[in-house]
């Protein structure tokens, strides 16, 4: 046998030319974290201070009203109360319109018979009832039990229904196996 000698040249790079690439590592910067116990304590203190401030503001408003009553400035107090009452009535009317619109939107999906039954429910109860019915309708999805595929051929016969002659005949066995192969 002839052996063929091949010269394989290997290039070597001088050490001076090889430079190390700086590796960037993800350095997670530590955020000044606060222990949960300290956070909970600070939150509790903040809520207490807000309650105190609200109490002081209420007392200050009551004192201002008493001073105005002593001075006989009933007209000013009356106009303030009327403006507060008007704002509250506007908010109440807007909320009532929202509730009626929402109830009407939900009830529009039901038949007249069901509307008569559930029409008197509060908005919260009606929304829960509607949500429950929507979930029940979505869970009742009809599934077609037809065999998948695009051929019009009947489903293959069961293996156990084949006779011994069909199993031993190569051509029939081959046609039986081809029923299971995927067609492109």
DSSP string computed for 80-134? HHHHHHHHHHHHHHHHHHHHHHHHHHHHTTS-HHHHHHHTTS-HHHHHHHHHHHH
| Residue 99 near residue 123, CB atoms below 8 Å | yes
Which pLDDT does position 135 carry in this prediction?
A: 75
**Position 25 in a domain:** no
Domain that holds residue 80: 74-138
**Model pTM above 0.85:** no
Chain mean position to CA 29: 31
Q: What is the mean pLDDT of residues 49-75?
A: 89
- Quick one: pLDDT at residue 96? 93
Number of domains the chain is built from:
2
Label residue 67 by pLDDT band (50, 70, 90).
confident
Residue 41 lies in a domain: yes
Please give the torsion angle defined by the CA atoms of residues 171, 172, 175 and 180, in that order, rounded to the nearest 10 degrees.
-130
Q: What is the pLDDT of residue 94?
A: 95
Closest by CA to 130, choosing from 103, 99, 98, is 103
- For residue 85, pLDDT beyond 60: yes
Report the mean per-residue pLDDT for the chain: 80
Please indicate, yes or no, whether residues 117 and 64 belong to a single structural domain of this protein: no
pLDDT number for residue 161: 81
| Cβ count near 106 (within 10 Å) | 19
Asked whether the predicted pLDDT for residue 75 surpasses 70, the reply is: yes
């Amino acid at each position: 046998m002839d052996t063929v000698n091949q010269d394989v040249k290997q290039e070597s790079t001088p050490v001076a030319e090889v430079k190390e690439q700086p590796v960037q590592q993800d350095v997670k910067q530590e955020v000044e974290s606060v222990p949960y116990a300290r956070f909970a304590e600070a939150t509790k203190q903040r809520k207490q201070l807000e309650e105190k401030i609200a109490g002081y503001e209420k007392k200050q408003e009551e004192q201002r009203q008493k001073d105005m009553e002593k001075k006989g400035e009933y007209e000013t107090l009356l106009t303030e109360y009327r403006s507060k009452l008007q704002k509250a009535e506007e908010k109440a009317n807007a909320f009532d319109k929202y509730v009626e619109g929402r109830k009407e939107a939900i009830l529009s999906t039901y038949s007249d018979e069901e509307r008569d039954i559930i029409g008197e429910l509060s908005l919260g109860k009606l929304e829960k009832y509607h949500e429950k019915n929507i979930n029940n309708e979505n869970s009742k999805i009809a599934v077609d039990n037809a065999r998948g595929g695009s051929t019009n051929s009947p489903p293959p016969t069961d293996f156990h229904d084949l006779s011994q002659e069909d199993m031993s005949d190569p051509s029939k066995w081959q046609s039986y196996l081809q029923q299971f192969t995927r067609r492109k």
